[in-house]
Amino acid sequence: MYKVYGITNCDTVKKAITWLKDHEVEFEFHDYKKLGISQQKVEEWLSQQPFEKLLNRAGTTWKKLPDEVKNSVVDGETAIPVMLEKTSAIKRPIIESDKIVALGFNAAEYENIFKS
């Protein structure tokens, strides 16, 4: 079974969840806005993907951060505190089984990833 990490009010997460349901892909949802995310999980993700892919720099949360905070994020280690404190700055959704299988939503990529 897959685990989908994201926040419920995100349009991209909504599209991904709709796609998964429409294609009968079983998953569990983890809302990291409500449930938080552990440092261990963030570190696990960073061992699989570069911080640049896991940090959502295009989003409102990132844009509202003070420049000194944004400028301090130069690698995975310095991204962790921001991702833990401002979970909305994490790319979404992140879908994993035993490892990350998808970041964000792309229907064509999901077709390849979740073939039955």
pTM flag (> 0.95):
no
Name the residue with tokens 């970041």.
103
Q: Residue 116 has what pLDDT?
A: 58
The pLDDT tens digits for 84-108 are 999 999 999 999 999 999 999 999 9
- Positions annotated as catalytic residues are 10
What is the Cα–Cα distance from 62 to 88, expressed in whole angstroms?
Answer: 8
Q: Residue 115 has what pLDDT?
A: 84
Average pLDDT, the chain: 95
Residues in the chain, pLDDT under 70: 116
Q: Residue 56 has what pLDDT?
A: 94
Element (H, E) at 31: strand 27-31
What is the Cα–Cα distance from 15 to 83, expressed in whole angstroms?
Answer: 23
In order of their start, the domains of the chain are 2-113 (3.40.30.10)
